[in-house]
Amino acid sequence: MITIEKQPVKPEFTFKMFEILGGLWLTGCVKTAAELNIADLLASGPMTISKLAEETQSHEIQLYRVMRALSGAGIFEESENRTFALNDFGAALQTNVPGTAKNFVLTIMNEHFPGYGDLTYAVQTGKIPFEHIHGKDLWGFYKEYPEIGENFGKGMTGMSGMELKGIIENYDFKPYHKIVDIGGGNGVMIHTILNNTPDSFGIIFDEANVIEKTVKMIPENLKERCSVAIGSFFDRVPEGADLYTMKWIIHDWSDDECVQILKNCYNAMPKGAKLLIIDAVIPDDSLNKPHMAKLLDIVMLACLTGKERTLSEFKMIIERAGLQFNRLVHIGTEAKSIIECEKL
């Protein structure tokens, strides 16, 4: 029997692993701040920890320990006499403000979170931890618990703020007369596009349980140019548009499921129409390099059948659906890029 001598661990790497675990502990503090609406309370001005504890019905000493950790990471600011103030970082946890991260934090740290501790199940079985834990898939879970599903939708909207500006600045939507946003949710992307293309008309396409709320959210100035359509992209999508968009849709599904969705797009598109897949793209040459999409892929591994893909992997499913890949457009964030496809 060959004996393999194990190498001792260098102390600096033990500490680095400790720092990684610290991210988990800090995220727990972020969740508490979100649940207690700390950012909303501090929006009106600084508060002492005793006042914050009173307003949140919390134990003062325990709340202080959480707030101290958050302020140490730059989330909120602590001054003398245990007084805390809102800063730009902490403001990302406010309720119902453009660009808020609060709802996404609550999604990740509530229904999604147990899956991240069960990745071994995914690796050894090829199955989805979320379904193993909750007894149903993600979309079925949100249909059963619509209030949680609504928070998830708000979370997606809040995170959209970091890329919508980049999408508009890096892609010219003005040449397109009719635009369909597939899986468009509450419509924030099509609203943004139409506000920048005064001669375009838009359709938000999604399932009935989503669209019933989407209709009410169409801004008054867009009601004549924005409409909705109900259905499943696994069955069909609205026909005859110049441009189709899908933001954070394709990454939710397996390759075969994606090909089915893309084929339905192909069948609905006239020749010359474009399709924009707006998703994270892992660089093909990113070996041993950090990239946000590699971490987003763990969300997919824990919760869905999908994955984040390299450009080569995107090209494969695009070709299988009969579409032509045209170009990759970077928008200034690793979390999203635009993959332009066309029906020839």
Same domain for 233 and 332?
Answer: yes
Helix spans in the chain (H): 11-35, 38-42, 49-56, 60-72, 102-109, 113-116, 119-125, 129-134, 138-144, 146-170, 188-195, 208-214, 255-268, 292-303, 311-320
Residue 280 lies inside a defined structural domain of this protein: yes
Range of the domain at 169: 113-342
- The dihedral formed by the CA atoms of 199, 200, 201 and 205, expressed in degrees to the nearest 10: -160
Residue 223: what pLDDT?
95
Same domain for 135 and 49?
Answer: no
Is the pLDDT reported for residue 161 higher than 80?
no
CATH code at position 302: 3.40.50.150
Same domain for 160 and 54?
Answer: no
Token code pair at residue 342: 């066309």
pLDDT band at 98 (very low <50, low <70, confident <90, very high): confident
Same domain for 32 and 145?
Answer: no
Is the pLDDT reported for residue 21 higher than 90?
yes
CB 308 within 8 A of CB 143: no
- pLDDT, one tens digit per residue, over 121-145 is 999 999 999 999 999 999 999 999 9
What does the mean pLDDT of the chain come to?
95
Q: Which of 65, 93, 121 is the last residue of a domain?
A: 93
Residue 3: what pLDDT?
73
pLDDT band at 1 (very low <50, low <70, confident <90, very high): low
Residue 135 lies inside a defined structural domain of this protein: yes
- Look at residues 190, 186, 212 and name the one whose alpha carbon lies nearest to residue 201: 190
Parallel, antiparallel, or unpaired for β 243-247 and 178-182?
parallel
Same domain for 83 and 165?
Answer: no
Same domain for 185 and 232?
Answer: yes
CATH code at position 41: 1.10.10.10
Q: Which of 93, 128, 151 is the last residue of a domain?
A: 93
Q: What percentage of the chain has pLDDT greater than the value 90?
A: 90
Q: Residue-wise over 322-336: b if at least 16 C-beta within 10 A, else e?
A: bbebeeeeebeebbb
Residue 259: what pLDDT?
98
Residue 102 lies inside a defined structural domain of this protein: no
Q: Which of 62, 93, 124 is the last residue of a domain?
A: 93
For 65-83, what is the HEC assignment?
Answer: HHHHHHHHCCCCEEEHHHE
Residue 312 lies inside a defined structural domain of this protein: yes
Same domain for 72 and 118?
Answer: no
Residue 301: what pLDDT?
97
Is the pLDDT reported for residue 100 higher than 70?
yes
Count of domains observed in the chain: 2
Q: What's the rounded mean pLDDT across residues 187-192?
A: 94
Residue 159: what pLDDT?
83
Same domain for 280 and 241?
Answer: yes
Residue 108 lies inside a defined structural domain of this protein: no
Residue 77: what pLDDT?
98
Q: What's the rounded mean pLDDT across residues 148-177?
A: 91
CB 314 within 8 A of CB 277: yes
Same domain for 87 and 117?
Answer: no
- pLDDT, one tens digit per residue, over 302-342 is 999 999 999 999 999 999 999 999 999 999 999 999 999 99
Residue 98 lies inside a defined structural domain of this protein: no
Residue 38: what pLDDT?
98
- pLDDT, one tens digit per residue, over 265-309 is 999 999 999 999 999 999 999 899 999 999 999 999 999 999 999
